[in-house]
Amino acid sequence: MPIGDICAISSALMWSISVILMRVSGFTIPPLPLNFFKSCVALICLTLTHLALQESWWPELSGGAHLRILISALIGISLADTMIAAALNRLGASLQALADCLYSPVIITVGFLMFGETLNTWELLGGSLVISGVFVGAAMTAEVKHPRDLWTGIALAAGAHILMAVGILMVRDIYLEESLTWVTGYRFLMGIAVLLIWGLVRHGKSMPEVLFVGFRRKDTWFTTIPMAFFGPFLATLLWVSGFKHLVAGRAAIYNQLSTVFIIILAYFFLKEKFTTRKAIGTTLALLGSLLVALH
């Protein structure tokens, strides 16, 4: 299997583990401070990795490139990641994963609009099966406390993936030319800076009390630190590597496997019900991904 395919599938698995841990962490830490904490941990991991690789600390980039990275971090990390955590709190892990059904078509659409990328017939068919599986599996569950939470959560998850798609694809050319760890770390640094500024504007002197909850709650580190390692650090590197080696649509279809992984993990570790609809949806998604892999 090509390296790009391996990276995209591995990213889906790592992200799924992180989502399960994020769901547990979200019981005690609100979305904004949780996003801030995991972004800081990811930045530390990326800095150590970059140091170990002995790569350049300041590549020559144009002012426009720096601006694009800033905008990418703002919408793809500061905003989208916070929205994902908020959606997870409302929907639960398995239903939130199914709400991510817009991820693949959004990536494909943005890839087409920005780069003119297209998929072959088999890849489109496989992608349709993945998305169909997600829609079939979606239903009101016990994890959703109120019908309003269902639609709010779905809107947050869908909106987050639109922002993530635009955020990553608008800097893909920079990833192709520069160090993977440097650009990823730089995005997280920018994202953290935006969160700090927002915290100061929104909460003023009480900002540290609000934003640094994840650092003060040492009792949650057992879940929050692995969550940050598997998701923002490891899954992000694999996710970007997939986009670096594959066309956007193909990488997105593989990434959509996170839906399947999350539903399975949520059943075993969060005791969320694995219904018949979820089973059928999972099967369709697996068949679609296999079709893409074989063609």
pLDDT of residue 295: 63
96-100, 152-156, 274-278: lowest mean pLDDT where?
96-100
Q: How many CA atoms lie within 13 A of 294 on its CB side?
A: 9
Whether 145 shows a pLDDT value over 70: the answer reads: no
Q: Cα–Cα distance between 195 and 252 in angstroms, integer?
A: 27
Whether 69 shows a pLDDT value over 60: the answer reads: yes
Closest to 107 measured CA to CA, from 122, 91, 81, 127:
127
Q: Name the band, by pLDDT with cuts 50, 70 and 90, for residue 293.
A: low
Whether 140 shows a pLDDT value over 70: the answer reads: no
Q: What is the pLDDT of residues 238-257, one digit of tens each?
A: 988 888 888 777 887 788 78
Closest to 195 measured CA to CA, from 63, 69, 80:
80
Q: What value does the mean pLDDT of the chain take?
A: 85
In the predicted model, what is the mean pLDDT of residues 254-276?
82
Q: Which tops the pLDDT comparison, 281 or 49?
A: 49
Closest to 237 measured CA to CA, from 290, 168, 289:
168
Q: Cα–Cα distance between 190 and 139 in angstroms, integer?
A: 37
Query: Is 140 within 8 Å of 16 (Cβ atoms)?
Result: no
pLDDT of residue 235: 94
